[in-house]
Structure 1
Amino acid sequence: MSDLIVYNTLSDLYRALDLPIEQEIDFTIHYLPNIHKTMPYKSPTFRANYYSFVFVKDGSGTYTTDEQTFPTAPGTIYFTNPGHIKAFEMKTLNDAYIITLTEAFLKEQVHPDIFEEFPFLLAETVPPNTLPPAEFAEFENLYLQIYKEYHSHSPYKYRIIGNLFVVLLLKIKEKFWKEFDPIAEGDRNSQIVKHFKRSLEKHYRKLAAGDTKYAFQVQDYAYEQNLHPNYFSHVIKSKTGKPVNTWIAEKTIAEAQSLLKNTKLTAKEIGYQLGFSEPTHFNSYFKKHTGMTPNTYRKENI
């Protein structure tokens, strides 16, 4: 899998497939027949570093994730989270939508404790579900309203979309994963990944709340599971396509951006809260990963 192509956004994927689309980085929704005009279509196998939710009202094909292949039919809903290996094949496609979004959008616009409220978002693989028309229509009403708001010029559109998405996730939780336990199943390596994702989220909630000042490193997450750091790192990289340090960096930046946008804490205070011993270290780290300083980011996003 070393030559597997990784796409950080949906537009990166479709540009590589010579089906260019425009999208905003944090959130987008597309009507798939506008993109895939010729059927059948089979994608290459790739790794996606974004959340995607697909709603197939009228279409058929297959969806493959982490070496498991599932059929898609009219009324099918499925989603994947960042780091998954996936591919799709469409035999027919008459009416379908795809929503992609980042963790930052989920936490800032949807729910601050998104993974506490919706733990299935941390799952390795969640099979698609096919609903009868009346039940699928409940979801259709929601994603069509999201689509309408996405193309509006309202100054509140992302707040509106965030609230609509909460309802959509609650409906998914109600219909599909009422009793879902993301640790319950899977092989040992999948359990290691699931445990790490939950631990990462839990630790950063503590950092953001000021309940701890120590930022976990790779070895801390490994020792939590009584694993050697080298073995732990190998499992995470092989299963998700991203090194542990990349997961930690992305989480750190997502939390920092959320605190900069949603609190009055200074950049210095945010740096200390996220475990940086010196403000200059936080400033350099943030700029390295975003291309701007924390204060510049705050000015451009308030």
Structure 2
Amino acid sequence: MNEKEIRSFSLEPLLEMCGRRPGDFYYDGCLITSRVNTGDEVPMDLFRYPVRIDAFAVVFCSKGSISLLSNLTRYELGENSFFVHLPGSILHVESTPDAEIYVAACEEEFIRRIDVDIKLLSNLFLQLERYPLLQLEPGEWECVARSISEISDEGVPEAGDLYSTEIIRSAIRVLIYKMCRLIARHLEQVRELSPSPRSRREEYFQRFMTLLRQHYMRERSVGFYAAQLNLSPKYLTTLIRQTTGHTAINWIDDYVILEAKNMLRYSTMSIQEIAYCLNFSNQSFFGKYFKNHTGQTPSAYRMGGGAADAAPAPATAARRRSPRGRR
């Protein structure tokens, strides 16, 4: 995409940009679609470019395998597995020719309109930030597939058809809650591996991470986040280190560098524009910050295509190793 920056898309413009296919179901902020191999055609055209999607989404792989990048972290999906996408994350899917892929995505306002508990959904999805890839049992996939098929078969209701509208909304609610049940089962398995109750410091860590996701592009000061949590910067740093093995500033830097890498790799913004977008006072300060954390200048990283991404940043590595972010 030759865009000035990585765009955030709602579902309908994304679908229109990529081109609708027969069988694509879109209704009022909900997209349910499949991409199945038909000869030499690459199945996943919908996310062939990196895109930031303003929706909760689940990518299912029912056959074959796909490689998926979410915020520069690579995940490999095999048969009967699915990936949970949080709103605002950058998604890029690379599929193999034999893959069969299904995507179910809902915008937050649509979820509210059909009376699904958005707090329940958000809390459940956020718990999967460190473990967004799930493996399904065959029977579990068949249950999800039936719901997807029922929605697609019903089709988009005609204007004024109140009965069909309620049938569709009810069917989508059922699908959402089925996925929530699968996610909850997965979380229960994770808790069994780490059965001790979450401590108060872990609660603070989760609150800190929520704030960080909201403000990292503008705020890099530990003091800002400590003030939001009514803690001193020193105490917040101690809590985060005890919980994850890394300091608060490590986590802040991790998020800022990740966004900088996304912009350098996927956007056509100049380095100066990226610096200002990330709230650096000038390009020189941004360049020093980036090199200090990656070993490369922004220009070298962009020219090299991000070859230095093989080893994740310390805080990212910690997130992927343990349910609680510990080493």
- Scaled to the shorter chain, the TM-score interval is 0.5 to 0.7
Residue matched to 2:10: 9
The Cα of 1:15 is off from its aligned counterpart by: 4.4
The Cα of 1:34 is off from its aligned counterpart by: 8.5
Residue matched to 1:224: 228
The Cα of 1:117 is off from its aligned counterpart by: 5.7
SS at match of 2:120: helix
Measured in 2, the distance between the counterparts of 1:9 and 1:140 equals: 24
Q: What is the TM-score when the length of structure 2 is the normalising length?
A: 0.51
Would you say the 8 A contact 2:63–2:98 is kept in 1?
A: yes
Residue matched to 1:178: 188
SS at match of 2:96: strand
- Unpaired segments ≥5 residues, structure 1: 199-218, 242-302
Measured in 1, the distance between the counterparts of 2:37 and 2:51 equals: 22
How do residues 44-63 of structure 1 correspond to structure 2 at under 5 angstroms?
A: 44-63=49-68
Measured in 1, the distance between the counterparts of 2:116 and 2:143 equals: 21
Measured in 2, the distance between the counterparts of 1:152 and 1:179 equals: 39
With over 3 angstroms needed to count, the CA separation of the structure-2 counterparts of 1:68 and 1:191, relative to structure 1, is: farther
Would you say the 8 A contact 2:68–2:92 is kept in 1?
A: yes
Number of aligned positions between the proteins:
215
Residue matched to 2:149: 144
Percentage identity across paired residues of the two chains: 14
The Cα of 1:144 is off from its aligned counterpart by: 2.1
Amino acid at match of 2:187: W
Residue matched to 2:109: 104
Measured in 1, the distance between the counterparts of 2:141 and 2:25 equals: 28
Q: Which one of the candidate residues 14, 20, 36 is aligned to 1:33? A: 36
Would you say the 8 A contact 1:57–1:95 is kept in 2?
A: yes
Residue matched to 1:155: 165
Question: Does residue 1:192 correspond to 2:193, yes or no?
Answer: no
The Cα of 1:3 is off from its aligned counterpart by: 5.0
Would you say the 8 A contact 1:25–1:101 is kept in 2?
A: no
Question: Does residue 1:86 correspond to 2:91, yes or no?
Answer: yes
Residue matched to 2:282: none
Measured in 1, the distance between the counterparts of 2:176 and 2:26 equals: 21
Measured in 1, the distance between the counterparts of 2:145 and 2:42 equals: 23
The Cα of 1:19 is off from its aligned counterpart by: 6.3
Residue matched to 1:129: 134
Question: Does residue 1:72 correspond to 2:77, yes or no?
Answer: yes
Residue matched to 1:214: none
The Cα of 1:152 is off from its aligned counterpart by: 5.0
Residue matched to 1:116: 120
Measured in 2, the distance between the counterparts of 1:190 and 1:62 equals: 28
With over 3 angstroms needed to count, the CA separation of the structure-2 counterparts of 1:147 and 1:41, relative to structure 1, is: closer
The Cα of 1:8 is off from its aligned counterpart by: 1.7
Amino acid at match of 2:63: D
Measured in 2, the distance between the counterparts of 1:36 and 1:5 equals: 31
SS at match of 1:5: coil
SS at match of 2:174: helix
Q: Which moved more, 1:90-99 or 1:9-18?
A: 9-18
User: What is the aligned-residue RMSD (CA, Å)?
Assistant: 4.5
SS at match of 1:194: helix
SS at match of 2:165: coil
The Cα of 1:146 is off from its aligned counterpart by: 3.0
With over 3 angstroms needed to count, the CA separation of the structure-2 counterparts of 1:236 and 1:64, relative to structure 1, is: closer
The Cα of 1:155 is off from its aligned counterpart by: 3.2
- Whose Rg is larger? 2
**Alpha-carbon deviations, 1:14-68, whole Å to 9, x = none?**
5444667784451121122389971276822222222211222123220111221
Q: What is the TM-score when the length of structure 1 is the normalising length?
A: 0.54
SS at match of 1:92: coil
Measured in 1, the distance between the counterparts of 2:139 and 2:15 equals: 32
Amino acid at match of 2:75: F
- Unpaired segments ≥5 residues, structure 2: 159-163, 192-197, 215-222, 234-248, 263-327
Would you say the 8 A contact 1:31–1:98 is kept in 2?
A: yes
With over 3 angstroms needed to count, the CA separation of the structure-2 counterparts of 1:237 and 1:27, relative to structure 1, is: farther
